Amino acid sequence: MLSKKRVVITIASALIGSPLMAADNPASHLHGQANLQLAFNDNRVDLLFESPAGNLLGFEHEPRTTEQQQTLDRVTSWLKATPLINTSESTCTVEAANVQRLGHDDGHAHAHTHTHGEEEHHADIEVTQVLVCSGLKQAASLVTPISTRFSGVEHLNIEWVGPDGQGATRLESGDQLFKLGR
C-alpha cells in the first residue's frame, strides 16, 4: 500500500510533468518593449510585430470612450497600411497585413509586477505583414518607423532570418536604422 507521502509526491510529480504545462506558458508582457521578427526570401519579407497594446495605444483595456476607439482605429489602420520595415529608398509595399488585439486572461503572468489599484487587463497587439521590397537583396541596412511613430516603444528587439544567416539587434526609442550584418 502506498504511503500518504508517496501518494502526494506521485500526484505532485504527475502535475509537474503534465504535458499541458508545456503549451500553457503565457507570453511575457513587458511595457516599453516590443519585438519584431523578420524572415527574408528574395524580395519578400514575412514580418511579425508584437507589442503590449499600451505601447501603441496608451491603454490596454477595451476602448471606453469615443476618443479611445478613434485611437484604436487610427493605429490599426496605420499598422495595416504602413510597411513596418523598409529599405532606405522606401521600396517596400504591403502585400498582406493582419492586426490582432490579444487579451491576457491572467493579469499576473507578466515579466513585471504592477501595483495598480483598479482591475487591470493586459493586451498585446500582434501584426503580421507580408512585404515586397525591390532591392532587398542589396540592402545592407533597413529602417523601421515603429520607434519613431510610437513613443511608448522604448526598446524594439529585432530578429531576422535570411539567406545570409540570422541576426538580432535592439533599437532604442527614436532609432530608425539597423544594419543587417551579424
**Rounded Cα distance, 75 and 56, in Å:** 7
Show the cell assigned to 93. Answer: 509595399
- Verify binding: residue 121, another protein, rule CB under 8 A: no
User: With binding defined as CB under 8 A, does residue 6 bind another protein?
Assistant: no
Alpha helices of 25-170 — where are they, by DSSP H?
53-57, 66-81, 146-149
CB nearer another protein, residue 67 or residue 106: 106
Residue 82 binding another protein, by CB under 8 A: no
Interacting positions 36-65 with another protein (CB under 8 A): 37, 39-41, 44, 46, 48
Residue 7 C-beta: closest distance to another protein, Å? 24
Does residue 160 contact residue 168 with C-beta atoms inside 8 Å?
A: yes
Burial class for 43, CB neighbours closer than 10 Å (0-12, 13-18, 19+): middle
One of 112, 137, 179, 182 touching another protein (CB under 8 A): 182
Binding residue for another protein, selected from 165, 174, 177, 179, defined by CB under 8 A: 165
Query: Are the CB atoms for 93 and 132 separated by under 8 Å?
Result: yes
Binding residues among 141-160 for another protein as defined by CB under 8 A: 159
Piece of the chain touching another protein by CB under 8 A; list 5-13, 17-25, 61-69, 131-139: 17-25
User: Hey, CA dihedral for 81, 86, 87, 88, is it positive or negative?
Assistant: positive
* Element at 9 (helix H, strand E): helix 4-16
73 or 95, CB closer to another protein?
Answer: 95
Question: Which of 71, 169, 173, 176 forms a contact with another protein (CB under 8 A)?
Answer: 169
Q: How many residues bind another protein (CB under 8 A)?
A: 24
Q: For residues 50 and 35, is the Cβ–Cβ distance under 8 A? A: yes
Supply the DSSP symbol for 27.
Answer: P
Residue 19 interacts with another protein (CB under 8 A)? yes
* Residues forming the site for another protein (CB under 8 A): 19-23, 25, 37, 39-41, 44, 46, 48, 159, 161-163, 165-170, 182
